[in-house]
Structure 1
Amino acid sequence: MSPRHLALAVALAAAWGFNFVVMQAGLRHFPPLLYAGLRFAMAGFPALLLVGRPGVPWRWVAGVAATLGVGQFALLLVGMRAGMPAGLTSLVLQAQALFTVVFAVTLLGERLTARRVTGLAVAFGGLALVAYDFGVSGPVGAFVLCVAAAAAWGLGNVVQRRAAPPDSLRFMVWVSALSAPPLLVLSLALEGAPALSPSWEGWLSLVYVAFVATLGGFGVWGFLLRRYDASVVAPYTLLVPVFGMSSAALVTGEPLSWLRIVAAALIVCGVLYAGARPRRLR
């Protein structure tokens, strides 16, 4: 991965890491399915009126909407509302890197090199340290929902790579537009008639998750997936819990122990090693 694209991947991880603190704030004002539906409605409308067709067959748009949009965020936000704290959620969701590699190898036939396996092992060792230090404080059901959200994200990564949209931002606008209706219908059926919050905190959180995390974030994500193997790009999301826990420490005062700092260093080193190209001997 080139230095410019490497910096882009790290910046994306930072934006997504802070996103967990933002989502936790938003869930104080909106039920989870409504929050997810409003997120994608804001990201998809009226932007789709300003862009052309997605540039790929509609089945790929629908596939990414079903996995990354409806599947991932419905499971994720319901899990957070059920008791998963932001820091632990940012950690558990990164199991998507493992799911992505498994799906990419089995469905796309991508090659899994010894270097990537070693880097992933080091990074997941760091994640294990964070899990040991943090502890699974939420209910088991909420934990399982977040793991399922990670699986949905991993499958969505593979579908998006297979789609290879020529314009990532335009593609994400249409994915958002297709994700919003089923989420809003599910919200109406399961959560009842919406009661929109007038709180500025709730609405600002929606602006961030819609335009920064969704359109900007997945636009960059698709850009990277179009240029590199999914098994190369996905490990960089292991940096998300590093930024997520740092954000929680700065914004909410959540303690950051030395064990977590060591774990974060392992994650960074593992990700960099897995994504770097080995030097050729001359």
Structure 2
Amino acid sequence: MKPFHIFLAICVATIWGLAYVATKIALGSFSPPQLTALRFLIACTPVLLLPRPNVPVHMLVAIGLTMFTGQFLLQFFGIANGMPPGLASVVSQTQGMFTVMLAMLVLKERPTARQLIGMISGLVGLAMIGLTVGNGLTIVGLLLVLASALSWSIGNVLLKRLPPVDMLHLMVWMSLVPPLPALAISGMTEGLSALPLALMTAPWQAIASTLYLGVVATVLAYAIWGKLLRTYTAAAVTPFALLAPCVGAVSSALVFGEQFTNLRLAGMAAILVGLAIVVVPLDKLATVCLPRLRTGKNTEIKVSKQS
């Protein structure tokens, strides 16, 4: 990858990591369904300029309900009910393991030995985190964020069944789906006047955080990510997403003073290692790094500079 594109990939991962901090701030003024509705009402505004992608409406709605509505509504409820944002940024990444499992069951894809090892590592890490419930973490919050990751993974599997499509157009048009169910939940549980009242009384930090989630973390970040995926292979781009939970954990510790016990840190590390094993193509990396060993002409290993 070109240095500038590497920089962009790091920026996107940083944006997504900081989104967990923004979510915690915004939830101080808005309920989970209100924040879900606001995030995607903001994110869907470019539909006025962008044509609808060549995707059947039922698939657009199905992916929007799982990848966006289910993922973020459940994630926001989880953070609002005892899941620390830094820990949420890591646990959410179990979607990678869930995606492999669902692809195996639904698409009949056979997982590789590397993917199985990665999933086992992730599940062990999740079990270790589960043992820390009560230390600033609730079982309800943990289960809600896991449900969020599962919903995300279902959206991933549905997305894999689509033909090639412009990712920015798809993400913007998918953003039309979450506001209606989120507003319906808010209206039924909080009353129709709750959202306007929350908007009028919210401090600027909450408004800024909501705009960040809608404009920066959704439209801008997905636009850049989609451009990178169209320019390079998924194997080259997706490993950068591993930076997002690291940024989320560190930023939450700095902003909110979130603390991590040794057991929780070990569990987070196991999840990230498992995810890395699943998404990073180690066999291809070995092919690039050790070409001299395979030629048999000499045993010298030469390190070359890569841009």
The code of the aligned residue for 1:185 comes to A
TM-score, scaled relative to structure 1:
0.82
1:210 and 2:214 equivalent?
Answer: yes
1:34 and 2:34 equivalent?
Answer: yes
**How far does residue 186 in structure 1 lie from its aligned partner after superposition?**
2.0
Residues in 2 aligned to 1:121 and 1:80: alpha-carbon distance in whole angstroms: 25
Q: Aligned runs of 1:103-118 on 2, under 5 Å?
A: 103-118=102-117
Q: Aligned runs of 1:145-184 on 2, under 5 Å?
A: 145-184=144-183
Name whichever of 129-138 and 60-69 sits farther off.
Answer: 129-138
Residues in 2 aligned to 1:220 and 1:158: alpha-carbon distance in whole angstroms: 22
Segments of structure 2 that go 5 or more residues without pairing to the other structure are: 288-293, 296-307
Query: Match for residue 256 of structure 2?
Result: 252
Determine if contact 2:33/2:73 at 8 Å carries over to the other structure: yes
Determine if contact 1:88/1:136 at 8 Å carries over to the other structure: no
Residues in 2 aligned to 1:269 and 1:115: alpha-carbon distance in whole angstroms: 12
Distance 1:180 1:110, change over 3 A: same
Q: Aligned runs of 1:232-271 on 2, under 5 Å?
A: 233=238, 239-255=243-259, 270-271=274-275
Determine if contact 2:242/2:276 at 8 Å carries over to the other structure: no
Residues in 1 aligned to 2:242 and 2:128: alpha-carbon distance in whole angstroms: 13
Which one of 201, 204, 213 corresponds to residue 200 of structure 1?
A: 204
The code of the aligned residue for 2:70 comes to G
Distance 1:14 1:260, change over 3 A: farther
Distance 1:189 1:265, change over 3 A: closer
Which SS does the other structure have where 1:69 is aligned? Answer: helix
Residues in 2 aligned to 1:70 and 1:18: alpha-carbon distance in whole angstroms: 20
Query: Match for residue 300 of structure 2?
Result: none
Residues in 2 aligned to 1:132 and 1:83: alpha-carbon distance in whole angstroms: 15
Query: Match for residue 22 of structure 1?
Result: 22
Q: Aligned runs of 1:113-124 on 2, under 5 Å?
A: 113-122=112-121
**How far does residue 99 in structure 1 lie from its aligned partner after superposition?**
1.1
Distance 1:225 1:13, change over 3 A: same
Q: Aligned runs of 1:79-98 on 2, under 5 Å?
A: 79-98=78-97
Which SS does the other structure have where 1:177 is aligned? Answer: coil
The code of the aligned residue for 1:72 comes to Q
Structure 1 residues 67-96: Cα deviation after superposition (integer angstroms, max 9, x where no partner): 022211221212222222212322332221
Identical aligned residues as a percent:
36
Name whichever of 49-58 and 136-145 sits farther off.
Answer: 136-145
Residues in 1 aligned to 2:124 and 2:138: alpha-carbon distance in whole angstroms: 24
Q: For this pair of structures, how many residues does the alignment match? A: 277
Segments of structure 1 that go 5 or more residues without pairing to the other structure are: none
The code of the aligned residue for 1:159 comes to L
TM-score, scaled relative to structure 2:
0.76
Structure 1 residues 28-55: Cα deviation after superposition (integer angstroms, max 9, x where no partner): 011110111010000001x101101122
Which one of 274, 281, 294 corresponds to residue 276 of structure 1?
A: 281
Query: Match for residue 101 of structure 1?
Result: 100
